[in-house]
Structure 1
């Protein structure tokens, strides 16, 4: 795994220095090697920068940027092509000489031979920049699920790109100006959905797309080479057999590394499945890791221990105390590349694994989205039926009904009305059964009314928290799909694609750890789309099909307990040791106003949480805290 940066434009305009600054700002992503290449000394051309975290072929033969001597094509590459061995064999059969055992050279030679079509032949996670002197263009490409990020911006007749937003800012060519629309999207989600970012003018290349940039620095529209699959069921036995084969293959491919490797093991279904399939494919005990807590309510280490004992893994347990968390909080917050209410948990577990001597870790990310583990798979279909049935009722009557129900369910409100579940009832009824609107409402941090209070200058132009174009894309994606598959598509596109994967990348790469996610192998995703709905999802939220995939190694009944995702005891810690830090931040009205927030409304949210107000959870205050602190640290203003 690595960090890449680069530019296309007028070389004399300071682009090499800008790329050098962007590359240096990503040293944490690649502490082993660095390099820069430029197409010439003057005129229009390209500059590529690279920081390397050595995973395959640790020698100088894997250094980047890498040049193909036959065609002159140059690559800067972040990621892994797990099928590089298969592609290498095919290339050698065609007479192509390979001088290293790195996947980078295989990707470079594949592109030199097959052109842009080579991207669709890669099986893995990647963000790639390829300079092609044959047509004087730069190609940017991103993996299908969006596991590896790639940002870009047009500035002064040039295009700049990098693996991180902080690197883009380090170029000194990007104005540190907050995008007002992005602020509103952040308040809705607790992160900023792409393709825009919090920084005005900086965009995220969409997952599964390629984009070509000519010497003039003006990019073409990102062109998709893959999209999330529609539900196309085949026979049950055939579908399940194919899924089993794909899953085992995906895990086995991700065990290939020339450095120490381990597995995040929470003890839940997803991580246990990955651990079981990995141990099945390995020749020796694999290493598993678990983070435990002193707070019993949040500690699931005993379940991870049971799984590890049953599989025979080499298991390591690390306890994270409130004192450890507070002592390293500033460091953890600095790892956040773009404000998000999550990521901190991944940083702490990644740090522990890295300190234990590992460079690669496998995670069970994607299981809930693919097999129906979230509450959204039960709640949204139910809510759709209710909201559709009440669609003809006047909005004022629905609002009155919602107020009465909320009062009965939650009691007397604090300074801020409930912002979760029953508190969102008015918004749910206002969707009139629209599936995207329901999905967006279910994940909204705040109600629509609270969002209007928090933003100093609300635009009122968003479509249920999304810009209009993105909302239209998602509605087209789920059009005509069964409810459960539609929810899965939205989970993969939004919660996972826009938050979990980006947060995992930033947090893990901050400590120079590569995280691999075998459940998100695109062939696994495609295979699941062919499984009949009932076989794939029912019983709802149990992930029964995934349990069966590891039944030869682990008794499915081991997981018959309430679902509990891996999260830190932030609700407790925010009121205790972290309380003064948060309170001071929320009292800073000038800071809030500087980024476009209503400081008085922000303060009300904090006080409601601190006093235990109904339906005002830790994620609400934490998201606002991280946003304020990030903007202050990076000098970003509205």
Structure 2
């Protein structure tokens, strides 16, 4: 956060022994700078990059746990003859590496690594197939590309004399005493933390805006910004005050005529908070033309076409001079926003804890939601009762048939990935989490959020817009995973604590709306319309995905689907095949051209 030459990179220490290359933001750099200055450390700029450098000089690797932010950096420490690379706690910012003929290459984008001669060694077939069959590709440190890996979140690596060591600087701690506090105290503490998280992410010397839907997460962030703009004591750095004075812009995607269109709520909120509403109205034709460009930005396939829409929204922000936006990612995976994933383990835990009456009451309250299925409750009970070592086998027995039904047998000609890789829980504290929180943690660290974080970073950086995520503040995440289940799911409401925390600043029609509206697109209707020529052309000749599926069967089902048979092919599976094909072709052809 310093556009003067004092913030330029790479940044060197005073004696030249430390060289830093940094991508991201350290939001609490003001406080850290003050702490270091009190200890006698002198600064030559006002940027967070120098704070990171001086913090490492003073505390070494212990500095990483003091940072509140999103980051990926490499640092050469000449005095100790080592390279240090680190990534933030939850992987908001990407960091990749590979080795080519003894040369180590690090970058925040895979494209940058692929530009190095010899770095492209083909695709990781296991990961290609895993994405096609289950939509997973960001669930571990491997990537779509052979021998290119990502630095895991909350990790730093040390490279010395060609020897690599990886170390964790943060792990989730579970403190059960918090559950004994009164609900009102916890709700107030949550509001205070969220408010401070927003305050820190307003530190900017460029214009800011918000990504706004009609849902709870983005409207909460927007309302809190407006609430802070009424105060005179919001911050002491000057950056927050400047950002609040310049906050007028919101960016939204609208779909007139679609049942999930939230334009009316967006208009209502922007009128209430006196904000400028910038809307995009994506069409199938426009998005079809964008596909190759967006896939090049994403570098790896993505679960839904939503990335195309987010790409347009970031372009809209860029065109209106907004260089920083705040968005709501992380709330659903910490506060239980998806009924389909989180209501069944919640109900199962009530039965396991001997609360049948509460189970019946909550079952009745959540029953109107169509996202979750009754049969999932006994499945979650079974998973909870068997030893952890047997759960991958249980998952295979429970879901393999369902996966085969969804994919329509088009992958039956190849060896499908083992279910065991898809069943691990990435935390040392998993045994201390409730059944609901363990499912949330799995979605947060492996199954859902990592892919969305990759998408958010790539499409925002494609337009030189920085996306900041208040719900990803590590203090909020730690707080959320130490909450009892009934502060997340209660009386038929998801994200109960968030609703209680913001009910005084948001309209009741948003706070107490039980219907979960995902940030989605009506892409099912595009396949037979605007996208049909592209799809038919894509799979008419030789296909990059041919080694991974039964191509004749796929083509047969595709033609039946395009002719109007919805049962012939699942739309999610079709999308995965389409964007995998484009991704593989894009990077194969780019390397061939090079």
TM-score, normalising length: structure 1 = 0.78
* 1:207 equivalenced with 2:171 (yes/no): no
2:253 is paired with a residue whose SS is strand
The alpha-carbon distance between structure 1 residues 257 and 506, as it changes in their structure 2 partners (threshold 3 A), is same
Q: Counterpart in 2 of 1:47?
A: none
* 1:240 equivalenced with 2:240 (yes/no): no
Count of aligned pairs: 541
Q: Counterpart in 2 of 1:97?
A: 42
The alpha-carbon distance between structure 1 residues 475 and 318, as it changes in their structure 2 partners (threshold 3 A), is closer
Shift in Å, 1:110: 0.5
Cα offsets for 1:375-408 (capped at 9, x unmatched): 201145568999xxxxxxxxxxxxxxxxxxxxxx
Q: Distance in 2 between matches of 1:584 and 1:465?
A: 34
* 1:223 equivalenced with 2:167 (yes/no): yes
- Show structure 2 runs of 5+ residues with no match: 230-243, 352-370
Q: Counterpart in 2 of 1:390?
A: none
* 1:269 equivalenced with 2:216 (yes/no): yes
* 1:352 equivalenced with 2:320 (yes/no): no
Q: Distance in 2 between matches of 1:486 and 1:600?
A: 41
Cα offsets for 1:536-573 (capped at 9, x unmatched): 33235532321222222113333425221122221111
Cα contact 2:2–2:47 (8 A) shared by 1: yes
Q: Distance in 2 between matches of 1:543 and 1:597?
A: 40
Cα contact 1:263–1:363 (8 A) shared by 2: yes
Q: More deviation in 571-580 or 427-436?
A: 427-436
Cα contact 1:83–1:124 (8 A) shared by 2: yes
- Show structure 1 runs of 5+ residues with no match: 1-55, 387-419
Q: Counterpart in 2 of 1:625?
A: 578
2:545 is paired with a residue whose SS is helix
Q: Counterpart in 2 of 1:178?
A: 123
2:89 is paired with a residue whose SS is coil
Shift in Å, 1:106: 0.5
Q: More deviation in 448-457 or 194-203?
A: 448-457
Q: Distance in 1 between matches of 2:30 and 2:438?
A: 35
Q: Distance in 1 between matches of 2:556 and 2:542?
A: 12
After the TM superposition, which residues 46-445 of structure 1 pair with which residues of structure 2 at under 5 Å, given as runs? 56-70=1-15, 72-192=17-137, 193-216=139-162, 218-220=163-165, 222-230=166-174, 232=176, 233-234=178-179, 235-236=181-182, 237-282=184-229, 283-284=244-245, 286-342=248-304, 343-374=307-338, 375-380=340-345
Q: Distance in 2 between matches of 1:178 and 1:57?
A: 39
Cα contact 1:188–1:446 (8 A) shared by 2: no
Q: Distance in 1 between matches of 2:399 and 2:327?
A: 23
Shift in Å, 1:497: 3.6
Say what the alpha-carbon RMSD is for the aligned residues. 3.2
Shift in Å, 1:341: 2.6
The alpha-carbon distance between structure 1 residues 157 and 265, as it changes in their structure 2 partners (threshold 3 A), is same
Q: Counterpart in 1 of 2:419?
A: 463
Q: Distance in 2 between matches of 1:265 and 1:445?
A: 39
Cα contact 2:208–2:324 (8 A) shared by 1: yes
* 1:511 equivalenced with 2:463 (yes/no): yes
Cα offsets for 1:260-307 (capped at 9, x unmatched): 110001010010111111111235454222121234324211111212
Q: More deviation in 532-541 or 428-437?
A: 428-437
Shift in Å, 1:238: 3.5
Cα contact 1:428–1:441 (8 A) shared by 2: no
The alpha-carbon distance between structure 1 residues 203 and 245, as it changes in their structure 2 partners (threshold 3 A), is same
Shift in Å, 1:360: 0.7
The alpha-carbon distance between structure 1 residues 371 and 353, as it changes in their structure 2 partners (threshold 3 A), is same
Cα offsets for 1:241-275 (capped at 9, x unmatched): 32221110000110111111100010100101111
* 1:488 equivalenced with 2:440 (yes/no): yes
Shift in Å, 1:609: 4.0
Q: Distance in 1 between matches of 2:447 and 2:418?
A: 18
The alpha-carbon distance between structure 1 residues 302 and 57, as it changes in their structure 2 partners (threshold 3 A), is same
Q: Distance in 2 between matches of 1:490 and 1:99?
A: 43
Cα offsets for 1:153-211 (capped at 9, x unmatched): 12222321111122221112213311122123212332412211111111111111111
The alpha-carbon distance between structure 1 residues 625 and 440, as it changes in their structure 2 partners (threshold 3 A), is farther
Q: Counterpart in 2 of 1:22?
A: none
Q: More deviation in 262-271 or 66-75?
A: 66-75
Shift in Å, 1:589: 4.6
TM-score, normalising length: structure 2 = 0.83
Runs of 4 or more consecutive aligned structure 1 residues displaced over 4 Å after TM superposition: 380-386, 427-446, 448-461
Cα offsets for 1:65-108 (capped at 9, x unmatched): 11011362111101000000001111111221211111001101
The alpha-carbon distance between structure 1 residues 174 and 442, as it changes in their structure 2 partners (threshold 3 A), is farther
* 1:574 equivalenced with 2:527 (yes/no): yes
Q: Distance in 1 between matches of 2:545 and 2:463?
A: 30
After the TM superposition, which residues 480-629 of structure 1 pair with which residues of structure 2 at under 5 Å, given as runs? 480-559=432-511, 560=513, 562-593=515-546, 595-607=547-559, 609-610=561-562, 611-614=564-567, 616-629=569-582
Cα contact 2:278–2:316 (8 A) shared by 1: no
The alpha-carbon distance between structure 1 residues 616 and 596, as it changes in their structure 2 partners (threshold 3 A), is closer
Q: Counterpart in 2 of 1:11?
A: none
Q: More deviation in 254-263 or 189-198?
A: 189-198
The alpha-carbon distance between structure 1 residues 541 and 632, as it changes in their structure 2 partners (threshold 3 A), is farther
Shift in Å, 1:115: 0.5
Cα contact 1:367–1:373 (8 A) shared by 2: yes
Cα contact 1:421–1:442 (8 A) shared by 2: no
Shift in Å, 1:443: 10
Cα contact 1:176–1:635 (8 A) shared by 2: no
Shift in Å, 1:113: 1.1
Cα contact 2:129–2:548 (8 A) shared by 1: no
2:252 is paired with a residue whose SS is strand
The alpha-carbon distance between structure 1 residues 377 and 442, as it changes in their structure 2 partners (threshold 3 A), is farther
Shift in Å, 1:366: 1.3
Q: More deviation in 494-503 or 515-524?
A: 494-503
The alpha-carbon distance between structure 1 residues 429 and 359, as it changes in their structure 2 partners (threshold 3 A), is closer
Q: Distance in 2 between matches of 1:524 and 1:442?
A: 34
Cα offsets for 1:608-633 (capped at 9, x unmatched): 54334239443221111111111111
